[in-house]
């Protein structure tokens, strides 16, 4: 560091920039820097990242464990870490000692997972001969095992349908709520007071989440997202039967063939070799099914199978017809050259009105 001679006039101008205490502090720092030597590299190895993560995990999942208890747990798995190192690691991650260490919601829910289920609705637009119909599907999910049960699907989720849902949930043979005590659901009007009383009589306490708080039932919301992204958003449901089959096949795939990160990237039903000594019998669920299989055309005297390509052509014409009725309220019906049936033969050269396959009625 070099110094320059300023003179009295320049010194008067510079002296007002800093205080005398600042000058003294700079002087002490320069003296300390002069007599400071390079620090010798320590030969002690730092704590491995794996051990750090294990210490933090033990402290978070066991809020009542102190430093000595964590030290003993690490010793059981072959890691020797001192109490001071554990205290330093927990302090660096913002975890206080035992008397002041809070319990997180994740730890609290995991402690009660064996008794908690989640339930929710999701909607799907299904094409029928009446146009787009909204179907409401209700399901229940076990938080501990991630197992899902489809309870029903209907375009009219009235009180009679919800009473049947309550009976299905609490059935002794196949009800998902058997052995559980808490059901998490939203504040939809479908979960009426009568439905909640019916579940309470069966020993199930219904806990309703706050309004506009989907994260309060995050596991159920995540299943809906997986179902729509991996299945329903990739198909056009043509009729109720097609929609139900797609949902049932996805649930079978969800249980037996899909790995879950919340279960340490494993299957819900275990490995195939552990269950049957071979592939799961529902492995064919991954095969792309035919989009449509119909016995014939409405009003046709001759019943026949329609290939998927012909069905898609009929559906495209039917969709175009519906859209034309929406755009032109009183316009003429859209006529296409569809297959003629045996009931009424049109005049030669006259186009025929499209008829919808009967599969969309089912």
**pLDDT (tens digit, 9 = 90+) per residue, 224-239?**
999 999 999 999 999 9
**Is pTM beyond 0.75 here?**
no
The domain segmentation of the chain, as residue ranges, is 49-107, 113-286, 308-361
pLDDT tens digits, one per residue of 69-89: 999 999 998 999 999 999 999
Name the residue with higher pLDDT: 322 or 211: 211
Q: Do domains 49-107 and 113-286 have the same CATH topology?
A: no
In SS3 terms, the chain reads as CCCCCCCHHHHHHHCCCCCHHHHHHHHHHHHHHHCCCCCCCCCCCCCCHHHHHHHHHHHHHCCCCCHHHHHHHHHHCCCCCCHHHHHHHHHHCCCCCHHHCCCCHHHHHHHCHHHEEEEEEEEEEEEECCEEEEEEEEEEEECCCCCEEEEEEECCCCHHHHHHHHHHHCCCCCCCCCCCCEEEECCCCCCCHHHHHHHHHCCCEEEECCCCCHHHHHHHHHHHHHHHHHCHHHCCCECHHHHHHHHHHHHHHHHHCCCEHHHCCECCCCCHHHHCCCCCHHHHHHCCCCCCCECCECCCCCCCCECHHHHHHHHHHHHHHHHHHHHCCCCCCCEEECCCCCCCCCCCCCCEECCCEHHHHC
CATH number, domain 113-286? 3.30.420.10
User: What's the CATH fold of domain 49-107?
Assistant: Arc Repressor Mutant, subunit A (1.10.10)
pLDDT tens digits, one per residue of 85-133: 999 999 998 888 888 887 777 777 777 888 899 999 999 999 998 889 9
pLDDT tens digits, one per residue of 254-297: 999 999 988 889 999 875 544 444 444 433 333 333 333 433 33
Output the average pLDDT for the chain.
Answer: 77
């Amino acid at each position: 560091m070099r110094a320059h001679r300023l003179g009295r006039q320049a010194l008067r101008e510079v002296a007002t920039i800093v205080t005398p205490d600042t000058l003294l502090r700079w002087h002490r720092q320069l003296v300390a820097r002069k007599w400071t030597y390079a620090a010798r590299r320590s030969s002690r190895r730092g704590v491995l990242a794996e051990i750090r993560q294990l210490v933090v995990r033990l402290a978070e999942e066991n809020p009542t464990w102190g430093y000595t208890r964590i030290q003993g747990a690490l010793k059981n798995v072959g890691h020797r870490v001192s109490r001071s190192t554990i205290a330093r690691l927990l302090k660096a991650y913002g975890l206080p000692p035992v008397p002041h260490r809070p319990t997180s919601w994740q730890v609290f829910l995991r402690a009660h997972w064996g008794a908690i289920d989640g339930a929710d609705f999701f909607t799907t637009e299904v094409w029928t001969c009446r146009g787009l119909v909204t179907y409401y599907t209700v399901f229940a999910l076990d938080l501990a095992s991630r197992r899902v049960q489809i309870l029903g699907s209907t375009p009219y989720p009235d009180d009679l349908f919800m009473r049947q849902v309550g009976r299905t949930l609490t059935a002794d043979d196949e009800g998902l709520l058997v052995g559980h005590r808490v059901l998490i659901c939203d504040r939809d009007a479908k979960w009426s007071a009568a439905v909640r009383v019916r579940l309470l009589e069966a020993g199930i306490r219904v806990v309703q989440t706050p309004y506009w708080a989907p994260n309060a039932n995050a596991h159920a919301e995540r299943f809906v997202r997986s179902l729509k992204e991996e299945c329903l958003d990739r198909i056009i449901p043509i009729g109720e039967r097609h929609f139900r089959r797609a949902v049932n096949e996805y649930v079978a795939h969800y249980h037996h063939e899909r790995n879950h990160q919340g279960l340490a990237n494993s299957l819900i039903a275990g490995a195939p070799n552990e269950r049957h000594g071979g592939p799961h019998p529902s492995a064919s669920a991954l095969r792309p099914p035919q989009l449509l299989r119909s016995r014939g055309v409405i009003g046709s005297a001759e019943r026949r199978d329609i290939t998927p390509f012909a069905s898609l052509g009929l559906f495209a014409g039917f969709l175009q017809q519906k859209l034309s009725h929406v755009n032109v309220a009183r316009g003429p019906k859209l006529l296409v050259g569809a297959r003629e049936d045996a009931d009424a033969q049109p005049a030669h050269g006259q186009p025929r009105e499209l008829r919808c396959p009967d599969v969309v009625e089912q």
